[in-house]
Structure 1
């Protein structure tokens, strides 16, 4: 890559890291940037996934205060993300690049609807909550697993999907749920990155530039994203999710 291209990829990494910290969909910035500079889709996807791992880790660190008291939840859903991320990465290496193209926009838009309906859904959950059902039950675990599969395969807007699932099924503060989302995204991207390092071709220059940028962006996004009121954050999630769906439909 030429110098200007390297600067552009690094800047895209910063933007993606900040966006991932607040809601997700950072891939929609870095992945098209790599494609614009002539990267083949699979090479761009693999290099981008590896590069975004440090950014998701820095975002998770930035939300460490919101993770207090959630260790059990992190372990429970972390197993689903680990398995799902591994399956998704394997699918990326085996299936055609456009295999999920038709269903992904529908999933993202569904998640946006769930985020919008979160306050009403939470009120109903409070009225019907049963002992032992405070973490969404097996259906939510399966939803996190499926999101992990998608995240390992492509990853754009996996944060929107997770926040939609959490907002519809868990009674908790939106910022605390966002902290869990950041950890789960780190697990999905991390396990996929390990597999890609072992068996896939990677452009290490692109991955390194995205990694450096996304680390900075993740820390900055976590610092300011945690200050957003629930209503503002919910609106931001919906805007990003709808934009992601439109962009993917136009591809």
Structure 2
């Protein structure tokens, strides 16, 4: 997978994209990530990427020209027909595990990182853009939301995680939250690991884990539990 990120604040991205799972994905050539500084696509001596909104009001708006030039530059060497352009936005569809899975099988993703009040709306008239929201709250920049999506996707790419079953059994993989996990020591300050996990009986362990997933989801996310019940009917 190739990922291009267009941003006015590349330093927000640089370190996180070179740590942990994402670093592993890059090292294994499962993902090829390119960061494009929006200011490199400006033409004035101040490298201006924002301006006041037409119609007045508080805040600033990211200008269309540098985004347009950056996308055109990317598509000089990449096939625009194979690219999926993503804009983190509170107006977009909600990011879920199924959306993450959908994005993880794309050949080429391009992220547009918004800031301030957003990007000049006319960018949508030149390119097909998928707006995605990571939740009902506002961040200071699209870079953080972009990192969330990339982290969620890269771990699903073939070869990145040694045991892919670990990723596919995480919370939200089937509308249920994940089970509690325990490791050594077996007892700590009088608190013991559930005996079934020490039994060696894989069938009973699987049954216990399924019951715990249902119990925790029912208690903590009844909305998800209702969705799960509908899916198994």
Q: Which has the larger radius of gyration?
A: 2
TM-score (norm: length of structure 2): 0.28
More strand by share: 2
| Relative contact order higher in (CA < 8 Å, ≥ 6 apart) | 1
More helix by share: 1
TM-score (norm: length of structure 1): 0.27
